[in-house]
Amino acid sequence: MLPKNQRLRLSQDLTATVRSGVRSGRRNVVLYARRQADPVSGDRIGFIVSKAVGVAVKRNLAKRRLRAIARELRSDEGNLDIVVRALPGAAELSWDELRQQVASGWSAIEHKLVDR
């Protein structure tokens, strides 16, 4: 579990990031990011895992894996709000495949934000 100050917990924060942030889609995950309005302690991360991913056991597995991957990729010096949306095939992927897709999307959104 990520500490409270490293999570996007309010629906308005998730919505603002999805609507006004940059987007990077992969086969089974989509990442959205935007710069924080008032920088806090590092990147903040939120997750969207809908029922389309599967039954509760599969959704929870996908969330646990995504949290662990995000913990590895997160930067303490960053000032981004990042939302990771799991698509239906995310629960069926192996750990390495899911990590590769998230890492690829993560680097893409960071490059897009540098260009902005």
| Amino acid at residue number 63 | K
How do the domains of the chain map onto residue ranges? 4-115
Is the pTM of the predicted complex or chain greater than 0.85?
yes
Residue 32 backbone dihedrals phi, psi, to 5 degrees: -125, 145
- The answer to whether residues 39 and 105 touch, using CB atoms and an 8 Å cutoff, is no
Question: Which CATH code is given to the segment(s) 4-115?
Answer: 3.30.230.10
Q: Can you give the pLDDT at residue 68?
A: 95
Compute the average pLDDT of residues 92-104: 97
Determine how many CB atoms are found less than 10 A away from the CB of residue 9: 10
- Over 90: is that where the pLDDT of 105 sits? yes
pLDDT tens, residue by residue, 3-28: 888 899 899 999 999 999 999 999 99
Q: Which residue has the higher pLDDT, 102 or 9?
A: 102
pLDDT tens, residue by residue, 41-76: 788 999 999 999 999 999 999 999 999 999 999 887
User: Given pLDDT bands bounded at 50, 70 and 90, which one contains residue 34?
Assistant: very high
